[in-house]
């Protein structure tokens, strides 16, 4: 692989030229990594709802043409100046937020919100020089979340790359790089449900089901899944969900339904849909005195959260989290080891598989609500 170090690489990438239109397979030029950057050969990537959300560009700032993708596994092809933690051939997961290891957040035991490398959905260029590493005929193609994994090669800041066990199957552990860690960590690291507690999970997509899995691993005895799609209920049982509530079945707020079911409210709730109304319900359904609600879903850019201040005064707690409070470089290798030790099951999250040439099928599956995770094989 080192024969390409320092050179421009031509490869296939699935380019989004405009919002909501099918991705187009193009030959792109990928520049070599600059200081504190690495160039990765992506072997497997998967489609996350966040990719679809920004591809649709209905509630966010449109940035096109762009290469989406942020949940993936691959190997290091070459490293830029100053990179000492990674070498060509290392097995890695690129991650949409990073760890500079120098700022106050990185030095804190409580935060993973790195000042330098925190998530930035509007930025389409590299941090170091404000330029893209992708181009077609000399014209820049923009990055997405600093990862852009819908390309056979990509350039990523070294702080957004987790080096993992080379024995871990990349076609499975690639899902740890976003959705599964986001949901699982929201439960085990942030909500922290006590043994025997009751947990409500709003939104039963891959992130919500990972949150349910985390609640089960924490010892919750009742896990109530809340979703407007009843087709998701049967599958959710595999992830520890014990009861189901469809808000559209009731003519009163779902938080009232949940309070009635649980003698005053659930002990913990985790909101994974991004819907503002679901966020309010998730907060208002937790028990006064000790209830904790955790927000995970990404809202519309103009969204507003409204609730009565008394809901706080009666000792309910509202928290938010990005990426399950995991520090990407420091913590994610241990999550991969949980899978290797059979303490975390990933296969049940993977419902579909397509070759890279058919990546638009992955979008179709997700838009129809048929898939949790679709693995995209880059060699196809």
**Domain limits of the chain?**
183-321
Quick: pLDDT tens for 304-316. Answer: 999 999 999 999 9
Q: For residue 12, how many C-alpha atoms fall within 13 Å in the half-sphere facing its CB?
A: 15
- What is the arithmetic mean of pLDDT over 243-251? 97
pLDDT at residue 1 tops 60: no
Q: Return the pLDDT at 133.
A: 98
Q: Return the pLDDT at 131.
A: 97
- What is the arithmetic mean of pLDDT over 320-327? 96
pLDDT at residue 8 tops 80: yes
Residue found under tokens 């990509």: 154
- What is the arithmetic mean of pLDDT over 27-56? 96
pLDDT at residue 369 tops 90: no
Res. 2 pLDDT band, cuts 50 70 90: low
Q: Return the pLDDT at 380.
A: 75
Res. 320 pLDDT band, cuts 50 70 90: very high
Q: For residue 108, how many C-alpha atoms fall within 13 Å in the half-sphere facing its CB?
A: 11
Res. 146 pLDDT band, cuts 50 70 90: very high
Pick from 141, 144, 149: nearest CA to 119: 144
Q: Tokens at residue 211, please?
A: 């949150």
Taking CA 300 as the corner, what is the angle to CA 297 and CA 304, rounded to the nearest 5 degrees? 95
What CATH number is given for 183-321 in this structure?
3.40.50.720
Pick from 268, 265, 258, 243: nearest CA to 192: 268
Between CA 115 and CA 23 the distance in angstroms is: 32
- What is the arithmetic mean of pLDDT over 265-275? 96
Cis peptide bond prior to 65, omega within 30° of 0: yes
Taking CA 295 as the corner, what is the angle to CA 291 and CA 296, rounded to the nearest 5 degrees? 140
Report the percent of the chain where pLDDT is more than 90. 93
Average predicted confidence (pLDDT) for the chain: 96
* Helical (H) or strand (E) element with 161: strand 161-163
- What is the arithmetic mean of pLDDT over 49-66? 88
* DSSP type of residue 285: T
Q: Return the pLDDT at 34.
A: 97
Lowest-pLDDT choice from 3-7, 85-89, 332-336: 3-7
pLDDT at residue 299 tops 90: no
Active site residues: 48-50, 70-71, 100, 103, 106, 114, 118, 178, 373
- What is the arithmetic mean of pLDDT over 30-59? 94
Q: How many residues are recorded in the chain?
A: 380
Question: 278 and 229 in contact (C-beta within 8 Å)?
Answer: no
- What is the arithmetic mean of pLDDT over 234-259? 97
Q: Return the pLDDT at 135.
A: 98
pLDDT at residue 109 tops 60: yes
Report the percent of the chain where pLDDT is more than 70. 99
Q: Say which residues have a Cβ less than 8 Å from residue 132's Cβ, sequence separation at least 6.
A: 124, 125, 126, 140, 141, 142, 143
- What is the arithmetic mean of pLDDT over 226-243? 95
pLDDT at residue 71 tops 80: yes
Between CA 165 and CA 359 the distance in angstroms is: 27
Quick: pLDDT tens for 173-189. Answer: 999 999 999 999 999 99
């Amino acid at each position: 692989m080192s024969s390409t170090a320092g050179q421009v690489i031509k490869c296939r990438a699935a380019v989004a030229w405009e919002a909501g239109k099918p991705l187009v397979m193009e030959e792109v030029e990928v520049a070599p990594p600059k200081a504190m950057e690495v160039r990765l050969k992506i072997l497997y990537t998967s489609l996350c709802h966040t990719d679809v959300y920004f591809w649709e560009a209905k509630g966010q700032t449109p940035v096109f043409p762009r290469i989406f993708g942020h949940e993936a596994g691959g190997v290091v092809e070459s490293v830029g100046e100053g990179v000492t933690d990674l070498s060509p051939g290392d097995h890695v997961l690129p991650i949409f937020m990073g760890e500079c290891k120098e700022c106050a957040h990185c030095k804190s035991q409580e935060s993973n919100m790195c000042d330098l490398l925190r998530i930035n959905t509007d930025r389409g260029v590299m941090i170091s020089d404000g330029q893209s590493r992708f181009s077609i005929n000399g014209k820049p193609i923009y990055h997405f979340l600093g990862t852009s994994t819908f390309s056979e090669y990509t350039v990523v800041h070294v702080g957004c790359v987790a080096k993992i066990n080379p024995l871990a199957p990349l076609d499975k552990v690639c899902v740890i790089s976003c959705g599964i860690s986001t949901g699982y960590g929201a439960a085990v690291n942030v909500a922290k449900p006590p043994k025997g507690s009751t947990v409500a999970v709003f939104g039963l997509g891959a992130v919500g089901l990972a949150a349910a899995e985390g609640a089960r691993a924490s010892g919750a005895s009742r896990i109530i899944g809340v979703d407007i799609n009843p087709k998701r209920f049967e599958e959710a049982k595999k992830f520890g969900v014990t009861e189901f509530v469809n808000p559209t079945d009731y003519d009163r707020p779902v938080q009232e339904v949940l309070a009635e079911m649980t003698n005053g409210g659930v002990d913990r709730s985790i909101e994974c849909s991004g819907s503002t109304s679901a966020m309010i319900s998730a907060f208002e359904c937790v028990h006064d005195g000790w209830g904790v609600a955790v927000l995970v879903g990404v809202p519309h850019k103009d969204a507003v959260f409204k609730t009565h201040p008394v809901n706080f005064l009666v000792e309910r707690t509202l928290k938010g989290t990005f990426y399950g409070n995991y520090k990407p470089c420091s913590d994610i290798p241990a999550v991969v080891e949980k899978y290797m030790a059979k303490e975390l099951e990933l296969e049940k999250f993977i419902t579909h598989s397509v070759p890279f040439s058919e990546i638009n099928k992955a979008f179709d599956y997700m838009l129809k609500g048929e898939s949790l995770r679709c693995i995209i094989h880059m060699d196809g």
